A and B are shown apart, each in its own frame.
Chain A
Amino acid sequence: MLRDITLGQYYPVDSPVHRLDPRTKLFGTMVFIISLFVADSIWGYLAATVALGLVIRLTKVPFSFMVRGLRGILVLLLISVSFNLFLTDGQVLVQLWIFRITWEGLRTAAFMAVRLIYLVLGSTVMTLTTTPNELTDGLEKSLGFLGKVGVPVHEISMMMSIALRFIPILVEETDKIMKAQMARGADFESGNLIQKAKAMVPLLVPLFISAFRRATDLAMAMEARCYRGGSGRTKMKPLRYQSRDRIAYGAELLYLAVMIGLAVVL
């Protein structure tokens, strides 16, 4: 049942990409996204394909797992492709009743589709190889400069990691309460919308009560350990760049240079 849901979708294997510093991966993802918008020729996209394919190979994550993220954008993809395909003016290729496909339309639609798919794949590589906690750590460190202008970076990232940490716990709790109410004859599946909404009450009330209880307990436990926000706080596992991160940064910058070069030259 609910137990089968994977959140944060981290895929636990050991690979060179998994071992990289989260900041390196954040930067790499950003570079990849920028490069997709820089590219405007077939050569640019080819270079992006090679780079993405190489990184995916390095992650050791099965490709089927990678593609799973694409299902979410299928509708968006179809809409944007058909808009570009049918509504672009230019040299007419096929004309069917009021539908007209132009050479330019075909070109933009194809580029658009590839761009969208690569955007999702690129960020999926990041989330599949980085635990949610590493991700928040990386974001906290990378966005640390915002703290100078009064943004509570540490607090926000602490809230993010607590929220992430509690998702599986609350999912489990939901599962448990659902089963307990089903053992008392509750029915969560059948009925119309109003009946279904009503059936959620025996699930949501205990869930909220337990969430509040857990929140108070956690706040108490943090205070008991003298937690008082981010100032002067050190980390058990501070982020430190290794030589592989330097290599990765080099590769990322080289890739960006190639992509810009291709866009300028061609």
Chain B
Amino acid sequence: MSIKVEHLNHIYGEGTAFSQYALKDVNFTIEDGEFVGLIGHTGSGKSTLIQHLNGLLRASSGAVYYNGENIYADGYDMKKLRSKVGLVFQYPEYQLFEVDVFSDVCFGPRNLGLEKEEVEARAREALSLVGLDESFYAQSPFELSGGQKRRVAIAGVLAMEPEVLILDEPTAGLDPRGRDEILDKISQLHREKGMTIILVSHSMEDMARYAGRLIVMNHGEKVFDDAPKEVFKHYKELEKMGLAAPQITYVVHELREHGAEIADDLTTVAEARDAILAALRKG
């Protein structure tokens, strides 16, 4: 179960006076079970990129392979691809439309042409995965809180039982508690269900904490593709792209400049704490 992207180019408004490169020769392979973070400044091409992975946008040139099959081949089943590669858009709560939570979550699996029992079983499963119990089923999705709405919307995608889950800034506009709830659920899906996750986020702290691999986009090009620790070593280059490393990385580098003997690849607060304490005990 892998996604392979080869020489992907995307040009908006090709052939008009407004044509603009959105993606420039992007290449990577995402293996089964990875947790990939995707970062980049606004307009760097992240959102365009993820819409290619489930065939919503068609590349101007280049190819996307899902499990070795070219998704642009004639007769490729896009609907099936979209059920395997679940995409949760930014502010997904704006896509809710049904009269109650349960039927909204049923929309995805019903589109797959499944039996009624199967559809409902999947909806129940998906809602329990995002932590919403039966008391929510009959409620109108428009009367819920922001965080709850978003969880319903994510459940709507999960109910299609995707193998890969792509989330575009799933925590934007949520309070810290709603944020942690969503991220913990996603990380739980990754750990317990072995789901491949691609997470777009602006929070470097979240990336350091959850992602096993980080892809950095700038002006439509892939700039870095490595473990978060390695990527954050380039914090000066990241800053030039309007990004940053986790705050703790700055603390660590500042301490090193003042002669503290600690490693330079610490990206989470817990790691840094341990390293600083160890260094203090030694000295």
Tell me the A residues contacting B by CB distance below 8 Å: 3-4, 11-12, 176-177, 179-187, 201-202, 205-206, 209-210
Contacts and interface: CB of A to CB of B under 8 A. Distances in A.
A210 B94 CA distance: 7
A205 B107 CA distance: 14
Interface residues of B, number: 27
A185 B95 contact: no
A183 B87 contact: yes
Given A184-B111, A185-B82, A201 B97 contact: yes
A179 B51 contact: yes
A182 B95 CA distance: 11
B56 A185 contact: no
A185 B111 contact: yes
- In this complex, the member of A176, A179, A185 whose beta carbon has the largest number of chain B beta carbons within 10 angstroms is A185
A187 B111 contact: yes
Contacts of B12: 3
B94 A183 contact: no
Contacts of A187: 79, 111
B13 A4 contact: yes
A209 to B, nearest CB: 7
A176 B89 contact: yes
28 contacts: A3-B13, A11-B17, A12-B17, A177-B94, A179-B56, A179-B89, A181-B95, A183-B54, A183-B56, A183-B86, A183-B157, A184-B95, A184-B107, A184-B111, A184-B157, A185-B79, A185-B83, A185-B109, A185-B111, A185-B112, A185-B160, A186-B107, A187-B111, A202-B97, A206-B94, A206-B95, A209-B142, A210-B94
Interface in B54-92: 54, 56, 79, 82-83, 86-89, 92
Contacts of A210: 94
